[in-house]
Amino acid sequence: MTDDLPLRTPLDEPPASPDAPAPPIAVREQLRNLAIVAHVDHGKTTLVDAMLRQTGAFRANEQLVDRVLDSGDLEREKGITILAKQTTVDYDGVRLNIVDTPGHADFGGEVERSLLMVDSVLLLVDAAEGPLPQTRYVLQKAMARRLPVVVALNKIDRGDARPAEVLDAVYELFIDLGATDDQIDFPVVYTNAKAGTATKDLAVPGTDLRPLLDVLVDVTPAPRHETGHPLQLLVTNLSANDYVGRMAVGRIRNGTIRMGQRIAVVREEADDTAGAIEPGRVVTLSGTVTALQTAHGIDRVDIGEAGPGDIVSVAGLPDVTIGDTITDPADPRPLPRLDVDAPTLRMTFGVNTSPLAGREGRYVTSRQIKARLDREILGNVSIEVYPTESGDTFEVRGRGELQLAVLIEQMRREGYELTASRPEVILHETPDGLQEPYERITVDIPPDYIGEVQAALAGRKGRLEQMSTDADGRVRLEYVLPVRGLIGYRGQLLTETRGTALLHQIGEGYGPWAGEVTHRTEGVLVADRPGTSNAYGLFNLQERAELFIGAGVEVYEGMVVGANSRSGDMDVNPTKEKKLTNIRTHAHDEALRLTPPPPLTLEAALEFIAADELVEVTPSSIRLRKRLLPKHERERERGRAFERDRSDDREREPARS
């Protein structure tokens, strides 16, 4: 239902006179809201596990798994948190609403939304590794909102732990980010999340997490609200329920909400492509609260009423989106909308057009893919979807390769078939020239591989910022380089360092165009006919290339079956069979031994492909292919590109003279 209700915002209200009394402020002393932020794999979810166990959130006989909040299949497989999750801990009469946030910068939208619901931040830092790029990222977001910070140095039981040096590095990080005097005077707690202990003094071993919980209760401000103020609930997440439909998740800033209450959302509509909506028109969507839930431990429980400071899920507005404010229809006062960092990468998702399309997936049409992407952007504000010139493809924008790869993997597991292009950076035209996104990366390697890594990053336009040696002898290199130079580098780095390197990255903003960056120097082997691969056809190919397939795999014309050892693509016949003769010798009949192909993961495939190639994704398979499958079409397109380059060169020559 859409009503035309008056829109009132704090900016529209008349200024209060100097003599007018300030509105009375109330405080809920028995409630605290906080977020745990850290770099990937520094122990956030493990620490929350220990808090839940020690505060009685589980039954004594309950069967538990490690990292209970990482409930998604992908989260458990990759060992990272992808979606921010809320839980509650009751401690000495105080309820702690704890939000576990992702540590990877690609999922920074989850962090930014979570920080709008909390009043303090617990910054977890590995006592051996120290602050890493994503530590800087999440701390920067927290300090921008002026949130008090508690620092916990985790994993103090590690043999290579160096808490004193890491604490100095944390102080330096705060200073680099422009911390105020109040922010830099943060309390420090030393924890071992796996054992569930905490202490304020390293000389006194901890026995439980009480020292940490005491500090969190003391440092986190209790929620404050204006008495008599109408309802204000900023929607920061969405969830779905099979019985009540879409549920809006957020924190109540002011007022109360109860079952059966009339609520409204006031928003400013954007212009649509058909011009049916006048840009800037304010509309109000109204409804009734049909379900009201909050977290209790790791479970969601139904409640009848919630007040200021509570983090709740509300059903009753089918069209609510992230960034909306649920408010009182009689006195609507919307809060400022949620603002997140803009995407830096884009990819093309399209219909699978290969000869093997439709054999493995349930959802294969462009309409079904578009509907799934529309559902994704409702609950993920850092993903953007745009139409393309072709009705069968869509441009999807996100923060990084991992975020887009996770989206593809989720669609794949849901039964979708699609093709995905190589990631490309989003460029900005400015008065100063073309701008492109940059990344700050930290590479942790043994000292034997410094030369190879520096040579590779120099070719990718990397600039060395800092170089240091850890206590265990490993070297840490900090580079700033264009995002284009980072695409496809992770696999090369692991190959050059024999799997011993660690790479962490974080956005550094936009900078000047760095020039051409080499992506892939070798070509690929392309199947020139359909059929089934066999050992005889592949045996001679493996001497000159790295194969992606084994014997008995169905192939088609234009499918990429291996990486060439030289530059340039090569059309091959992997289905070639041995000619039958009447000669029988031991040398002719000995078994052909093929090197097993390496498993092709989605992330590795997206990094490997070139601009004229696609990744074919189905629920059961990941294949590489050319955009244009027939050989004559690829040659014709190559000729057109050559003519375009020649014409561009001829246009530039008069300008030079």
Sequence-ordered list of residues with C-beta below 8 angstroms from that of 50, at least 6 positions apart, any chain = 193, 194, 195, 196, 209
pTM: 0.74
pLDDT at residue 463 tops 80: yes
Euclidean distance between CA atoms 368 and 394, whole angstroms:
12
CATH classification of the domain holding 579: 2.40.50.250
pLDDT band at 73 (very low <50, low <70, confident <90, very high): low
State CA 118 to chain mean position distance. Answer: 21
pLDDT band at 99 (very low <50, low <70, confident <90, very high): confident
Mean pLDDT (the chain) is 81
CB 373 within 8 A of CB 394: yes
pLDDT at residue 288 tops 50: yes
- Hunting for tokens 């109040």 — which residue is that? 182
- Model confidence over 600-628: pLDDT tens digits? 888 888 888 988 999 999 999 999 999 99
**More confidently predicted of 499 and 591:** 499
CB 479 within 8 A of CB 440: yes
Q: Residue 602, exposed/middle/buried by CB under 10 A (0-12, 13-18, 19+)? A: middle
pLDDT at residue 164 tops 80: yes
Crossing angle of the two packed helices 133-144 and 163-176, in degrees rounded to 10: 50
| Whether residues 408 and 505 fall in one domain | no
pLDDT at residue 59 tops 60: no
Euclidean distance between CA atoms 74 and 63, whole angstroms:
21
The pLDDT value recorded for residue 655 is: 53
Dihedral class, residue 554 (left if φ above 0, else alpha if ψ from -120 to 50, else beta): beta
CB 609 within 8 A of CB 615: yes
The pLDDT value recorded for residue 10 is: 40
**More confidently predicted of 617 and 61:** 617
Give the CB-side neighbour count of residue 395, counting CA atoms within 13 A: 13
CB 10 within 8 A of CB 213: no
The pLDDT value recorded for residue 408 is: 92
Q: Which of 646, 626, 622 is nearest to 635 (CA)?
A: 626
Tell me which H or E stretch contains 169. Answer: helix 163-176
The pLDDT value recorded for residue 618 is: 94
Maximum average pLDDT range among 123-137, 199-213, 264-278: 199-213
Euclidean distance between CA atoms 621 and 361, whole angstroms:
10
Give the pair of three-digit tokens for residue 564.
């060439």
Give the pair of three-digit tokens for residue 50.
């220990």
CATH classification of the domain holding 378: 3.30.70.870
Q: Which of 333, 252, 329 is nearest to 10 (CA)?
A: 333
pLDDT at residue 368 tops 70: yes
Euclidean distance between CA atoms 88 and 83, whole angstroms:
17
pLDDT band at 588 (very low <50, low <70, confident <90, very high): low
- Model confidence over 548-586: pLDDT tens digits? 998 899 999 999 999 988 888 899 999 988 877 655 554
The pLDDT value recorded for residue 485 is: 87
Total domains in the fold of the chain: 5
The pLDDT value recorded for residue 225 is: 87
Dihedral class, residue 95 (left if φ above 0, else alpha if ψ from -120 to 50, else beta): beta
| Whether residues 601 and 474 fall in one domain | no
Ramachandran angles phi, psi of 75, nearest 5°? -65, -40
pLDDT at residue 8 tops 60: no
pLDDT at residue 370 tops 90: yes
Lowest mean pLDDT among 203-217, 288-302, 342-356, 413-427: 288-302
| Whether residues 421 and 437 fall in one domain | no
CATH classification of the domain holding 286: 2.40.30.10
State which of 478, 512, 546 marks the end of a domain: 512
Strands 570-572 and 524-527: parallel
**More confidently predicted of 648 and 214:** 214
Euclidean distance between CA atoms 253 and 625, whole angstroms:
52
Residue type, 67: R
Q: Which of 47, 100, 58, 50 is nearest to 75 (CA)?
A: 100
pLDDT at residue 378 tops 90: no
The pLDDT value recorded for residue 89 is: 85
| Whether residues 219 and 231 fall in one domain | no
| Whether residues 34 and 178 fall in one domain | yes
CATH classification of the domain holding 501: 3.30.70.240
pLDDT at residue 101 tops 90: no
Q: Cβ atoms within 10 A of the Cβ of 122, count?
A: 26
CB 102 within 8 A of CB 80: yes
Euclidean distance between CA atoms 50 and 155, whole angstroms:
13
Instruction: Evaluate whether residue 517 is within a structural domain.
Output: no
Euclidean distance between CA atoms 287 and 647, whole angstroms:
61
| Whether residues 237 and 99 fall in one domain | no
Q: What is the DSSP letter of 20?
A: S
| Whether residues 239 and 220 fall in one domain | no
| Whether residues 389 and 485 fall in one domain | no
**More confidently predicted of 266 and 269:** 266
Mean pLDDT calculated for residue range 378-400? 85
pLDDT at residue 102 tops 80: no
**More confidently predicted of 43 and 456:** 456
Helices (H) and strands (E) in the chain, counts: 16, 38
Euclidean distance between CA atoms 312 and 233, whole angstroms:
9
pLDDT band at 353 (very low <50, low <70, confident <90, very high): very high
CB 457 within 8 A of CB 416: no
Residue type, 180: T
| Whether residues 362 and 350 fall in one domain | yes
Q: What is the DSSP string of 149-162?
A: EEEEEE-TTSTT--
User: What is the domain extent for residue 232?
Assistant: 225-271+278-327
| Whether residues 57 and 167 fall in one domain | yes
pLDDT band at 487 (very low <50, low <70, confident <90, very high): confident
pLDDT at residue 363 tops 90: yes
CA torsion sign for 66, 84, 145, 222 is negative
> Three-class SS of residue 410?
helix
- Model confidence over 197-228: pLDDT tens digits? 999 988 888 888 999 999 999 999 999 888 88
Q: What percent of the chain has pLDDT over 90?
A: 21
**More confidently predicted of 642 and 103:** 642
Dihedral class, residue 124 (left if φ above 0, else alpha if ψ from -120 to 50, else beta): beta
| Whether residues 468 and 530 fall in one domain | no
Instruction: Evaluate whether residue 602 is within a structural domain.
Output: yes
| Whether residues 538 and 401 fall in one domain | no
Q: What is the DSSP letter of 353?
A: -
Instruction: Evaluate whether residue 335 is within a structural domain.
Output: no
User: For residue 296, what are the β-bridge partners?
Assistant: 299
Mean pLDDT calculated for residue range 246-253? 86
Task: Cite the DSSP H helix spans in 4-161.
Answer: 44-54, 73-78, 108-115, 133-144
Dihedral class, residue 594 (left if φ above 0, else alpha if ψ from -120 to 50, else beta): beta
CA torsion sign for 553, 556, 562, 565 is positive
Instruction: Evaluate whether residue 454 is within a structural domain.
Output: yes
What percentage of the chain's residues is helix, strand, coil (to nearest 5)? 25, 30, 45
CB 436 within 8 A of CB 511: yes
Mean pLDDT calculated for residue range 277-303? 77
CATH classification of the domain holding 164: 3.40.50.300
State which of 202, 224, 246 marks the end of a domain: 224
Instruction: Evaluate whether residue 630 is within a structural domain.
Output: no
* CA distances for 569 relative to 67, 248, 521, angstroms: 46, 51, 11
Instruction: Evaluate whether residue 625 is within a structural domain.
Output: no
Instruction: Evaluate whether residue 334 is within a structural domain.
Output: no
pLDDT at residue 135 tops 80: no
Instruction: Evaluate whether residue 266 is within a structural domain.
Output: yes
Euclidean distance between CA atoms 81 and 589, whole angstroms:
53
